Amino acid sequence: MSTVRELHNQAMELAQRAQVARFEANDPALAVRLAGEAFRYESEAALLVPDTHEAEPTRAILYRSAASLAFQAHDFLGAQRFVMRGLSGYPPPRERAELERLYERIRFSLYLEENRLTVAASFQLVLRGPGVDYGRVAFSEFQSRTNATIELLNRSVERRSGRLYRKHGPMNLQMRPFIPLITPQPPGSFVMSIELAQPEYEQFQQTFLFTLDEIVDDVLTNVDLVFRGERETLRERIPDEGYFRNFIAGAKQIAPDGKVISYVGLSDMKMDVPGTLVQSQIPLVAPTEQLSREIEAKGSSISVKGILDMANGRGTSLIGLMTATGETYDVEVLEGLEDFVKTYFKQIVAVSGFYDGTKIRASDIGPSSAD
């Protein structure tokens, strides 16, 4: 009969080989198989250790190790069983904390499995700046950028599916081929992983002719073009005017503001997109000769600050603005900008554009302070 040491050593050799298969050979199936073999040895070793005070920390470490290997082998119920057994002994504080941490990871993996979700693509969003602490960030800075990122993914799915630009109403989430997941990363700046979990339903596999990896590539490449000011290349990639403006507005919302957030980065396994421009350097609508002529012919340029409110005219693309002195303006928002303008509702915004005496045709709009 093998000893605990012999069984554990065999398990660790296999665990190391599983790591190599996962991270170097990029062979997840082999990694899962090797982790499963390692689990068999490690669980056998753990079961040989008596359930006594004196057996700690060996007992807790071996149960935690066996549970981790079962987790890597995607045997989540087996992993849960070994965590429970490890906790039922007398684990020292450090091992207890590790077992509890692992239990939470297993429970989430079971949730994904029960809902037939698999993580099909992922990328990282990094925020740095005076408004970012060690693994902590102001909620509004986090919320606006994650919402904008998810919105760009939604719109890219619709565009790549050949759908006409949706001018009104929310996306039909039943037809979205992913569920976004957020994972905070070990602190440094504020780093989070955004993962796209794909439902394993046939309807999705038949409906969409692209992978979620391709959608992430598409979004990152296009954000990179906005951040580098290469609008013409972006226009070639997104010829539809609504999708084009919508993308610029989303990328602008993700970009650093230069005050609270000084750096934003997006990255996946293939590319890094550093945020080199700040929001004020990314106009929503690029000034064109035609627009300039219109301004001269029809009105005067204007910059005004106020609270975004309901539009007087209730037109589909009209919003209202009330200044601190009580003046009200109707503001016309171009197609493509609705997703992002609506996030400023009831907030103080700065609007610039040209005013024809009845309404402001906005060329740029963004959050502002009361001063």
Partner 1 sequence: MSDQTKPSTDGLIIFDLDNLPATIPVIPPSVGVFHALQCKVCLDSQGHADGVKLMVDLSYRETILHGQVRWAVDVSERERRATRDEKKTTDFGACVLALLFIDRFTEYTAYQQSATGDTIDYLLAPKGMLPQLLQEDTLIFNSPGKLPVAYLEVSGIRCENEYNTIASRISGKKRRLSTPEDLPTFIAIVEFGRPSAKMVKV
Q: Which residues bind partner 1 (CB under 8 A)?
A: 3-6, 8, 11-13, 15-17, 19-20, 22-24, 26, 38, 42, 48-49, 54-58, 61-62, 64-66, 68-69, 71-72, 92-94, 97-98, 101-102, 105, 128-129, 132, 134-135, 185-189, 263, 267, 269-270
The size of the chain, in residues, is 371
Two tokens, residue 129 = 């700046």
Q: Using CB atoms within 10 A of its CB, is residue 35 exposed (0-12), middle (13-18) or buried (19+)?
A: buried
Min. distance of Cβ 199 from partner 1 in angstroms?
24
Min. distance of Cβ 162 from partner 1 in angstroms?
31
Nearer to partner 1 (CB atom), residue 195 or residue 339? 195
| Nearest partner of 142 among 151, 134, 132, 152, judged by Cα | 132
Place of tokens 């997104």: 238
Question: Which H helix or E strand runs over 5?
Answer: helix 4-23
53 backbone dihedrals φ, ψ, rounded to 5°: -55, -45
Pairing of strands 328-332, 348-355: unpaired
Min. distance of Cβ 69 from partner 1 in angstroms?
5
Nearer to partner 1 (CB atom), residue 208 or residue 227? 227
Min. distance of Cβ 221 from partner 1 in angstroms?
16
Nearer to partner 1 (CB atom), residue 94 or residue 293? 94
Nearer to partner 1 (CB atom), residue 192 or residue 351? 192
Nearer to partner 1 (CB atom), residue 269 or residue 322? 269
In this structure, is the dihedral angle defined by the CA atoms of residues 337, 342, 344 and 349, taken in order, positive or negative? positive
Min. distance of Cβ 41 from partner 1 in angstroms?
11
Separation CA 269–CA 265 (nearest Å): 13
